[in-house]
């Protein structure tokens, strides 16, 4: 088990229309967007900020990925101080490396990987010093992480061993099975479940914090996105919607009690 528990700390959208995605998410989530120049000649990258902290980025889906059929999607990064060791540990636990360790000029070293059931994520070994984590309840930040997988028990064991996650309360959803909550560093951070048939492959879904769910859902549809589920109240009294953006990327929104 790692010395300290880790969770996602950066979220990245690969999209087919960068300008449209920037306009959509700044309107829907309320982010402040700013360009980030990694190095001369690097692909355009837009940092999105929740308050005074960057929490994610937007970039154009690389041509090579598009040719391979990679869809527009949000992905999360785990931090690491030794990316080679993290990748080795992941492979030893049955994970898969989709893109070997490489450099992002001016940022650090990264790798694209997947857990043993196939849900993709990334590692990043940053060049700079550690930053304190952004509180999960920060407006615009990701307030909940949800894994749809083929075997949640095995998936939980993987994330527990690799990142120090701890089981929290399980919810019995009847025919849909168990929804297993998990905590990271003593804070409830998300849940996982066996995926329904309409979700074709294991995947992470990220919930962005907004002030009011009805207003946020209207912003989604007003700006060309779709609400595919909700608004729905969840057991802790919060409200959620699951959505797709105009380019087809799946995401969700989370708001306090009405």
pLDDT in tens, 37-60: 766 667 899 999 998 889 999 999
* 257 pLDDT above the threshold of 80: no
**Angle value at C-alpha 251, between 175 and 13, nearest 5 degrees:** 140
Distance, CA of 130 to CA of 88 (rounded, Å): 22
Q: Show Cβ contacts of residue 219 under 8 Å, excluding neighbours closer than 6 positions.
A: 27, 28
The pTM (predicted TM-score) of the whole model is 0.94
Domain edges within the chain = 10-126, 142-255
Q: How many CB atoms lie within 10 A of CB 215?
A: 10
Task: Tell me if the domain spanning 10-126 has CATH number 3.10.180.10.
Answer: yes
**Residue in the structure block whose two tokens are 């070293």:** 109
Largest CA distance in the chain: 54
Q: Show Cβ contacts of residue 198 under 8 Å, excluding neighbours closer than 6 positions.
A: none
Mean pLDDT of the chain: 92
Model pLDDT for residues 150-194, shown as the tens digit of each residue: 999 999 999 999 999 999 999 998 988 999 999 999 999 999 999
| CATH assignment, 142-255 | 3.10.180.10
Q: What is the mean pLDDT of residues 228-257?
A: 94
Model pLDDT for residues 103-125, shown as the tens digit of each residue: 888 889 999 999 999 999 999 99
> Do 10-126 and 142-255 fold alike per CATH?
yes
Q: How many CB atoms lie within 10 A of CB 13?
A: 25
* 1 pLDDT above the threshold of 50: no
**What tokens appear for 25 in the block?**
């998410």
* 204 pLDDT above the threshold of 80: yes
* 4 pLDDT above the threshold of 80: no
**What tokens appear for 155 in the block?**
């998936």
Bond into 231 cis (ω within 30): yes
Is the Cβ–Cβ distance between 125 and 81 less than 8 Å?
Answer: yes
Strands of 115-186, DSSP E: 120-126, 142-149, 166-172, 178-184
Q: What is the mean pLDDT of residues 76-90?
A: 96
């Amino acid at each position: 088990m790692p010395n300290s528990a880790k969770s996602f700390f950066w979220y990245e959208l690969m999209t087919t229309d960068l300008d449209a995605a920037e306009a959509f998410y700044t309107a829907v989530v309320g982010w402040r967007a700013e360009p980030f120049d990694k190095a001369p000649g690097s692909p355009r990258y837009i940092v999105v900020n929740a308050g005074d902290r960057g929490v994610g980025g937007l970039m154009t889906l690389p041509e090579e990925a598009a040719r391979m059929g990679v869809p527009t999607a949000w992905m999360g990064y785990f931090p690491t101080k030794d990316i080679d060791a993290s990748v080795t540990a992941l492979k030893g636990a049955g994970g898969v490396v989709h893109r070997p360790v490489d450099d992002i000029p001016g940022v650090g070293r990264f790798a694209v990987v997947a857990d043993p059931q196939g849900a993709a994520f990334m590692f990043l070994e940053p060049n700079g010093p550690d930053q304190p984590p952004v509180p999960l309840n920060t407006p615009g930040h990701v307030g909940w992480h949800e894994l749809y997988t083929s075997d949640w028990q095995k998936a939980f064991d993987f994330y527990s061993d690799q990142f120090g996650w701890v089981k929290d309360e399980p919810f019995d959803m009847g025919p849909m099975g168990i929804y297993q909550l998990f905590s990271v560093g003593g804070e409830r951070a998300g849940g996982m479940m066996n995926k329904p048939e309409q979700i074709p492959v294991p995947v992470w879904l990220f919930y962005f914090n907004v002030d009011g769910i009805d207003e946020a859902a209207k912003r989604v549809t007003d700006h060309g996105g779709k609400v595919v589920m909700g608004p729905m109240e969840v057991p802790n009294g919060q409200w959620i919607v699951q959505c797709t953006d105009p380019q087809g990327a799946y995401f969700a929104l989370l708001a306090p009690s009405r």
